[in-house]
């Protein structure tokens, strides 16, 4: 993991702990989603490796998969993508008259932006 990825994930985890202690469920959910998006971005495609899947014993080091190292630009792109997804979904909810859901998604955008400004 790069220094940028380590820094941002540590910061998000710290904020997640604070949000959980304060019982801010919406923020907790968002921060978990951001961490999952970053983890997914680090995943390396296995291609057809699933075709020859074998069951291994728990703790077998041969099943450990390498992870991609995310650069600052990669992290920024993931966070921008998460922001764009929420903005698009908010617009769709507004068209459908689901203003409560649209507002919830729009409220998440500034929370993500605080990590984009300081990756």
String of DSSP letters for the chain: --HHHHHHHHHHHHHHHHHHHTT-HHHHHHHHHHHHHHHHHHPPP-TTGGGG-----TT-GGGPPP-PPPPHHHHHHHHHHHHHHHHHHHHHHHHTT-HHHHHHHHHHHHHHHHHHS--
What pLDDT shows up at residue 57? 74
- Domains belonging to the chain, first-starting first, are 3-44+67-116 (1.10.1510.10)
In this prediction, residue 1 carries a pLDDT of 56
The confidence score (pLDDT) of residue 119 equals: 46
Q: How would you write the pLDDT of the chain (119 residues) with one tens digit per residue?
A: 568 888 899 999 999 999 999 999 999 999 999 999 999 999 877 666 655 666 677 777 766 667 888 888 999 999 999 999 999 999 999 999 999 999 999 999 999 999 986 54
């Amino acid at each position: 993991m790069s220094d940028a990825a380590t820094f941002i994930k540590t910061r998000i985890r710290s904020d997640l702990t604070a949000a959980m202690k304060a019982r801010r469920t919406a923020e907790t959910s968002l921060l978990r989603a951001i961490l999952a998006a970053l983890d997914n971005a680090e995943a390396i495609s296995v291609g057809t490796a699933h075709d020859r899947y074998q069951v291994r014993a728990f703790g077998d080091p041969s099943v450990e998969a390498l992870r991609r190292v995310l650069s600052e630009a990669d992290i920024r792109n993931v966070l921008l993508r998460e922001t764009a997804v929420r903005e698009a979904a908010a617009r769709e909810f507004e068209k459908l008259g689901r203003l409560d859901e649209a507002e919830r998604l729009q409220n998440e955008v500034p929370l993500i932006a605080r990590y984009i400004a300081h990756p």
